[in-house]
Amino acid sequence: MESQAVDAVLQGLKQSGVDFISLLPDSDFSGLQKKVTGDPSFSYCAVSNEAIGVGVCAGAWLSGKRPALLVPTSGLLVAAWPLTSLCMAWGLPLLLLIPFRGDIGDAFWLMGPYKDTTEPLLGVLHIPHVVVSKTEEVTKAIVDAQGSTISWQRPVAVLLTGETIK
Lowest mean pLDDT segment, chosen from 6-10, 89-93, 106-110: 106-110
pLDDT given for residue 63 in this prediction: 97
Statement: residue 62 has pLDDT above 80: yes
- pLDDT band at residue 28 under the 50/70/90 scheme: confident
Which pLDDT score, from 0 to 100, does residue 73 have?
A: 86
What is the average pLDDT value for the chain, to the nearest integer?
93
Question: How many separate domains does the chain show?
Answer: 1
**CATH code of the domain in which 149 resides:** 3.40.50.970
35 pLDDT band (50/70/90 cuts)? very high
**What is the extent of the structural domain holding 86?**
3-164
pLDDT tens per residue, range 70-105: 998 888 999 999 999 999 999 999 999 998 887 877
Residue 155 near residue 88, CB atoms below 8 Å = yes
Angle (deg, nearest 10), helices 112-124 and 75-82: 20
**Rounded distance between C-alpha atoms, residue 62 and residue 103, angstroms:** 34
**Given strand 129-132, what is the order of strands in its sheet?**
43-46, 20-23, 67-70, 94-99, 155-160, 129-132
Residue 69: closest CA among 54, 80, 79: 54
